[in-house]
Structure 1
Amino acid sequence: MTDLPVGRRERKKAATRQAIADAALRLFLEHGYDRVSIRDIADAADVSTTTLFKHFAGKEALVFDEDQAREAELVAAVRERDAGRSILDALRHHVLDTWLPVAEHAQAGEFNNLVNSTPALRAYGERMWTRHTASLGAAIAEDVGVDHDDVACVALARFVLEIPALTRDRRNRTAAVETIFDILEQGWEPPGKPAPRP
C-alpha cells in the first residue's frame, strides 16, 4: 500500500480532528456536557473512541480544541513581530485580529454559557490560561532579556490574557480592548480626570 503524501495525510488528520470537535460541541450544547459520553461523540463523528483519543487527550480538550494553536499564536505574536514594533503593539493587534472575530461568532454566547455552567470546564479553562500565561510571559521575558519567571513579564502576559473576559460583554468590544491596551502602555488614570494642561 502506498503512503499518502504528507500534505494529504495532514489534511485528513485535521479534517478528522475538526469533525470530532464539531460533533462534541454540538452534542454538548444540545444535551449538556455531563450528559454526553465519549462514545456518543465518537459515534456522532463516525470514528472509533481510539481515533478520538489519538486527537484529544480527554473530554475537556474537546471543548477547547484550538487551545494549542492559540497558545502558539500568542507566543508567535511576540517572537515573530515586525522589527520596530513593540511587544504591546503586537499583542494589541493580535487580540484585535484573532479574539474579536471569535467573540462575535454566532455560538459565542452558548459556548461561554457551557463553560461557565460546567465546573470541570471552568477548571480546565483556568489551567489552560495559567499555562498560556507561563508561555507568553516566558516569550516576553526572553525578548527583553530577563528570567522566564520575571514577575513583570508574567503579570503583563496575565493582563493580556484577561482582556477577552474583561471585554466579552461590552457593547463596543474594540474600544474596550483599545482602552485596556492604552492603560498597559501609558499607565492608569482615574476615569474622567481632565487631561493635564500644556
Structure 2
Amino acid sequence: MRAEATTPAKGRGRPSIVDAMAISEAAIALWHEHGYANTGWREISDATGVSTRTLMRHFSSRAELAWIGVQPATERMAAAAPLVPLDIPLGDALRQLISASVTRDPKVTALGPDFFSLVSSEPEIAALAPSAHNPWIAEVASFIAARRPDLPPAITRAIATAYQSALFAALTEWAENGDTRAGDAVDTVDAMLAHLGLLGE
C-alpha cells in the first residue's frame, strides 16, 4: 500500500507533493456524506484541490485511501518500540507498544465512526484490510522476535496477527459506542489488550 504522508509524484515534469493523510480524511468524510459509490476521483479532487490525474498517479484505487492511516500508526509503533522496558513480560510490552500506535489526533478521532462504518459496509474497502495491515503486523512480529528469539517466525507472525485483530475489534467497539469525542481510543485499546493472555504470561 502506498500510504506515505507526503509522496513525490513520479514521471516527467515538476514533482508534486501530496498530503496522503489529508486526502484520506477528505475522502472518508465524502464517502460518509454521499456514499462510496457516488464519490469518485473527481469529487475527491474537488474537495482536496489535487488533480484527478495526480490522485490516480499516487494511489492505485479509491479504496486505498481508506487505509492511509495504517502507515503512520506503524511509524508511531516503531518509534515507541525502543522505549518499551526490557524487564516486563512480553504481553505487557506488546500492550504498551500497540497502544502507542493509536493516535489521539482529534481529526482522526472524529472520523473513526465513519471509517469503521465504511469498512463494514463496503466490500472493496474491506478487501484491502489484509494487505494494508501487513506492515503493522510485520512490525509487531519483529518486536516479538527480538524479545523471544526462541519462537519460530510463524508463531511471532500469528501472535502479531492476533493482536492486530484485537486492536481492530477494540477500535470498532469504541467507534460504535456513540460520541467518540467523549472517549479515548488509546484507553479503549489498552483495556482490551489487558485482557489478552495469548502468551500465557
After TM superposition, the score normalised by the length of structure 1 is 0.68
Q: 1:78·1:91 contact (CA, 8 Å) conserved in 2?
A: no
Q: State how far apart, in whole Å, the 1-side matches of 2:83 and 2:57 are.
A: 30
Name the structure 2 match of 1:34.
Answer: 37
How far, CA to CA, are the matches of 1:41 and 1:28 in structure 2?
A: 9
Aligned-residue sequence identity (percent) comes to: 24
Q: Which residue number corresponds to residue 179 of structure 1?
A: 195
Q: 1:52 corresponds to which letter in structure 2?
A: L
Q: Which amino acid aligns with 1:179?
A: H
C-alpha distance in 2, partners of 1:48/1:17? Answer: 13
Partner of 1:4: none
Structure 1 residues 48 and 146: CA distance shift in structure 2, 3 A: farther
Q: Compared with structure 1, are the counterparts of its residues 66 and 157 closer, same or farther at alpha carbon in structure 2 (3 Å cutoff)?
A: same
Give the AA of the match of 1:51. T
Shift of the alpha carbon at 1:67?
A: 2.0
Amino acid at match of 1:107: L
What one-letter code is carried by the residue in structure 2 that aligns with 1:163? A
Consecutive unaligned residues of structure 2, counting only runs of 5 or more, are: 1-7, 9-15, 178-186
Cα offsets for 1:156-187 (capped at 9, x unmatched): 1112111123334277834333112xx13545
Q: What does residue 108 of structure 1 align with? A: 112
3-state SS, counterpart of residue 110 of structure 2: coil
Q: Which moved more, 1:79-88 or 1:44-53?
A: 79-88
Is the 1:78–1:140 contact (alpha carbons within 8 Å) kept by the matching residues of 2?
A: no
CA spacing shift, 1:162–1:77, aligned 2, 3 Å: farther
Q: Give how far 1:105 is off.
A: 2.7
Q: Please state how far the C-alpha of 1:31 moved relative to its aligned partner.
A: 1.3
Structure 1 residues not aligned, in runs of 5+? 1-8, 188-198
Change (3 A) 1:49 1:64: same
Following superposition, the deviation at residue 87 of structure 1 comes to 4.4
- Structure 1 residues 114, 129: CA separation in 2 closer, same or farther (over 3 Å shift)? same
Tell me the distance in 1 between the aligned counterparts of 2:66 and 2:76: 19
For residues 127-177 of structure 1, what are the alpha-carbon distances to aligned partners after superposition, in whole Å with 9 as ceiling and x for unaligned? 223453344324432554368x62221121112111123334277834333
Identify the match of residue 127 of structure 2 among 115, 123, 126.
Answer: 123
Asked if 1:60 is matched to 2:63, the reply is yes
Distance 2:100 2:123 in 1: 30
CA distance in 2, matches of 1:48, 1:25: 18
Point out the more displaced range, 130-139 or 107-116: 130-139
Decide whether the 8 Å contact of 1:42 with 1:49 is kept in 2: yes
Look up the equivalent residue of 2:193 and give its one-letter code: V
Q: Is the 8 A contact 2:29 2:111 kept in 1?
A: no
Question: 3-state SS of the aligned residue for 2:84?
Answer: coil
Q: TM-score with structure 2 length normalisation?
A: 0.67
Deviations 1:57-78 (A, max 9, x none): 3212211112222233344444
Q: What aligned pairs does 1:126-145 form with structure 2 within 5 A after superposition?
A: 126-145=130-149
